[in-house]
Structure 1
Amino acid sequence: MRLEQLMYLVAVNESKSISLAAERAHISQPALSSAINKLEDELGIVLLKRTNSGAQLTEIGELIIVKAREVLNSIDEIKSIAHINSIELNGNISIAVEPGVNITIMPDILTTFKFNHPKVNALLKVGESNNILRDVESGKADFGIILNTDAVRESKDINFSELFTDEFVIITGKDRKIAMESPTMTLQQALSMPILLYNTEYITDCGVSCILKKYGNFNVSYRVDNLEMMEKILTHGDIIAFVPRFMADEFIKTSSIKKIEIEDACLEASIILIWLNRHHLSMIEKEFIKIIKLTCCKKMQ
């Protein structure tokens, strides 16, 4: 039995796909399949059920995977002790984040992590919370930084850790009539106006809309998938968008956007870090999580 066989088994369990696990392990699919087949032959059991919908652990495989994770965690701890003063990690990390997080917090996170671990490549994707949730659930991303929504709490496959809390405010073009009338607005007034959503699919169940629907009906007039277009639309029409305060504060620094407070309600924005609960956290990823949490803590002080 070899360590890489256990690593490949954990990778397949995380992605539910032999081809995706092979891609992320940077080996060929036949080589990964062969390694797991040899492990099955050595143990005299079947670990994976290969179906049209993907690769699933057998009942005995579910028991084996628990021990495999324990072994890999122990190996990581041994490496950490051996190199506590000279950790030189290498590999890849993929993370998907909300646009507000991307423009405010991620530059510090990525530059700090790269300075500490120059041989690690961080692959960043920007998206909408519920789409990121699906990417993490499917194994396309190792981590996500998103809004906490009911979809996260209902997922049986996701672990999450709260990074910080904020509240939603309204943004619109600073030269628009609604921006000039008052620095505040009631929630019902806001919900009655045309609303722009940051959304990377043609659907309305994004993180922000999932929060808004708890307060009544609302009118979605635009869905865009980049911040530049979002800003242009807000400055050319009587349109509003709901965003966390930290994102609004960044917007108004350099753009023609104005922030409007919600005067009669506090819409909480909980920003969380998510990962698969069946995902084995490597040393690289544990270091990455430390930097994410430390950076968020400093930013929100």
Structure 2
Amino acid sequence: MDWNLLRTFVVIAEVKSITRAAERLNLKQPSVSNALRRLEVQVSRRLVERDANRFELTEVGLLVYEQGIEVFGTISQLPLLMHGISDDVTGHATIAVASDVICPLFDRALAQFHANYPRASLTISVAPSAEVTKQVRERRASFGICLVGRRDPALDYEMVYREFFGIFCGPRHRLHGRNGLTLDDLKGESLVSFQTDHIFDALRPVALLRSEAKLDTNVIGVSSSLEEVRRMIVAGLGIGPLPLHVARREVADGILWRLPPYDTPPAVDIFLLVNPDKAMNRSEKALLSGLQALLAETPLEGRVYNG
């Protein structure tokens, strides 16, 4: 049905005159008469009985008028209903991340989110990757970013970035500052590492490297926190793995020293975890869609951090 014809008919029915309806609508009388005829053709019924002395709605005309009033009454309420509803996104989002998530793309997503929606708030909780997965599965987190050992079939996964791990020592270590080292020089060295540094866990490539270098029997300290693994390396407890792009600045400052292998560092992928069954508020949806848009527009080679 043509809504303009219906609107014209409602005015005709209210003023009971083609002439007065034309005046109210600021239209010419033939245009109003034509609109009435076209509406009657659409509904295949006469809507008005009229002559020189009579103007009455037919039974169908009365029905169309009553329904038209209800439709346009609802439409007229829209400005009132929308009053006070702001386009601003408010609400709270909770992101669960592993401690070793160092990602310029993620930082950019947060910056854009805050610039676009300054009234929205965030909580970023840091936890081991297994706990991040659990929080997302249990819908306690809006989404998660972490390493992945085994995929949970209840969750959706999207790769955020790829990082490469190197082996490092601190300034107190005997190998600090030495060039031309090989994996044989690392045999028997004490090791610090991550809790996920196992053959069947998220840092499998690092575990394989550790095994190749014969470092798998002398583990001095472990942590789920990148910062704490770095602390133990700098303190001289042992050598240990760190993402190359994370360690780059401290290597340049002489705090960390990179050890072999130099040419074939192990690669580890970091994933975005989303629970498709979680009902999200506007803030959560905006943040997630912003991050996913950045991932979609950034080719994989732009999300590989090799230090």
Normalised by the size of structure 2, how large is the TM-score? 0.55
Task: Classify 1:284/1:232 alpha carbon distance in 2 versus 1 (closer, same or farther; 3 Å).
Answer: closer
Determine if contact 1:174/1:257 at 8 Å carries over to the other structure. yes
- Residue 122 of structure 1: aligned partner: 122
- Residue 206 of structure 2: aligned partner: 212
Task: Give per-residue Cα distances to partners, 1:50-71, cap 9 Å, x unaligned.
Answer: xxxxxxxxxxxxxxxxxxxxxx
Q: Which deviates more from structure 2 when the two are superposed, residues 275-284 or residues 235-244?
A: 275-284
- Counterparts of 1:119 and 1:177, CA distance in 2: 52
Determine if contact 1:177/1:238 at 8 Å carries over to the other structure. no
1:194 to 190, 207, 210: 190
Letter matched to residue 230 of structure 1: V
Displacement of 1:238: 5.2
Displacement of 1:100: 2.9
Displacement of 1:93: 0.8
- Counterparts of 1:220 and 1:228, CA distance in 2: 17
- Counterparts of 1:128 and 1:105, CA distance in 2: 21
The unaligned stretches of length 5 or more in structure 1 are: 1-81
How many aligned positions are there? Answer: 211
Displacement of 1:228: 5.0
The unaligned stretches of length 5 or more in structure 2 are: 1-81
Bigger CA radius of gyration: 2
- Counterparts of 1:147 and 1:285, CA distance in 2: 21
- Counterparts of 2:165 and 2:111, CA distance in 1: 28
- Residue 37 of structure 1: aligned partner: none
**Runs of 4+ residues deviating >6 angstroms:** 203-206
- Counterparts of 2:185 and 2:202, CA distance in 1: 17
2:167 to 166, 170, 173: 170
Letter matched to residue 96 of structure 1: A
- Counterparts of 1:250 and 1:100, CA distance in 2: 15
- Counterparts of 1:131 and 1:267, CA distance in 2: 24
Task: Classify 1:274/1:174 alpha carbon distance in 2 versus 1 (closer, same or farther; 3 Å).
Answer: same
Aligned residue runs from structure 1 range 221-260, under 5 A: 221-224=220-223, 226=225, 229-237=228-236, 239-252=238-251, 256-260=255-259
Determine if contact 2:99/2:126 at 8 Å carries over to the other structure. yes
Greater percentage in helix = 1
Question: Aligned to 1:160, what secondary structure does the other structure show?
Answer: strand
- Counterparts of 2:224 and 2:206, CA distance in 1: 19
- Counterparts of 1:249 and 1:183, CA distance in 2: 19
- Counterparts of 2:274 and 2:292, CA distance in 1: 14
Task: Classify 1:130/1:162 alpha carbon distance in 2 versus 1 (closer, same or farther; 3 Å).
Answer: same
Question: Aligned to 1:181, what secondary structure does the other structure show?
Answer: coil
